[in-house]
């Protein structure tokens, strides 16, 4: 995240990253400048000079990045002014959340860590595990366990892709995307996932999220 939020620090005169020994005021000024005023983000000429131009461009970037579950690219586009509630009218008024949950394009960075899961977790249903996950690392652990008993390499790759998409959906939601937003056909994210035959794990994950919001 610092590679995004501090990319332009060298372009700002008089600013230096606070040290642990610096005063509270210095640290507060840094935090406000970094996150509230977005003072250290590096914009390129093609990003546009006006805020409305940047919002238009980076909303589209978020949408396209969501198709391939590119979390880093989404994070950069959010920081630069993209809107998570932007709807792509050319694709049925879907938001980034809709397309992330239903896209069949190959994901980027399709990797999953091999960590041990708690034995009691193994006895729960997948939907319970997903509902109770508290971080993206938890999601990694959950589907690692699901994949452990599958010897087929293609199945494992498909499950890993689903995991990356679930992680991306979670990231979008954590940053403010609304799971109950409707597309042009008045379909929610869960509706689209059901109608477009999204993987079972994604549908169960979304169903759990809908129950939490209720």
Question: Could you tell me the pLDDT band of residue 196, with boundaries at 50, 70 and 90?
Answer: very high
pLDDT at 78: 96
pTM for the predicted model, two decimal places? 0.75
DSSP state at residue 69: T
pLDDT at residue 11 tops 70: yes
Question: Could you tell me the pLDDT band of residue 164, with boundaries at 50, 70 and 90?
Answer: very high
Q: How many CB atoms lie within 10 A of CB 20?
A: 5
Tens-digit pLDDT profile for residues 48-87: 888 899 999 999 999 999 999 999 999 999 999 999 999 9
pLDDT at 200: 94
pLDDT at residue 159 tops 90: no
Per-domain residue ranges for the chain?
Answer: 1-42, 119-213
174-180 mean pLDDT: 95
**What span, in angstroms and rounded, lies between the C-alpha atoms of 94 and 175?**
17
How many residues can be counted in the chain? Answer: 214
**What span, in angstroms and rounded, lies between the C-alpha atoms of 35 and 182?**
30
Tens-digit pLDDT profile for residues 82-122: 999 999 999 999 999 999 999 999 998 654 443 344 444 44
Judged on CB neighbours under 10 Å (0-12, 13-18, 19+), 139 is: buried
pLDDT at 119: 40
Beta pairing partners, 88: 94
């Amino acid at each position: 995240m610092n590679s995004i939020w501090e990319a332009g620090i060298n372009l700002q005169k008089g600013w230096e990253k606070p040290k642990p020994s610096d005063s509270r005021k210095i640290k507060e000024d840094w935090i406000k400048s970094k996150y509230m005023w977005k003072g250290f983000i590096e914009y390129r000429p093609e990003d546009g000079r006006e805020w409305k131009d940047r919002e238009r461009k980076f909303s589209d970037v978020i949408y396209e990045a969501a198709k391939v579950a590119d979390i880093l690219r989404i994070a950069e586009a959010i920081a630069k002014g993209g809107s998570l509630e932007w709807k792509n009218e050319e694709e049925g008024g879907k938001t980034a959340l809709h397309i992330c949950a239903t896209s069949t394009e190959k994901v980027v960075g399709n990797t999953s860590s091999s960590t041990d899961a708690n034995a009691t977790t193994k006895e729960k249903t997948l939907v319970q595990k997903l509902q109770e996950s508290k971080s993206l690392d938890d999601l990694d652990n959950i589907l690692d366990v699901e994949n452990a008993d599958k010897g087929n390499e293609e199945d494992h790759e498909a499950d890993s892709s689903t995991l990356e998409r679930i992680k991306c959906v979670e990231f979008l939601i954590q940053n403010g995307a609304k799971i109950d937003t409707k597309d042009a056909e008045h379909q929610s994210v869960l509706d689209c996932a059901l109608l477009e035959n999204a993987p079972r794990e994604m549908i169960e994950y979304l169903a759990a999220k809908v129950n939490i919001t209720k």
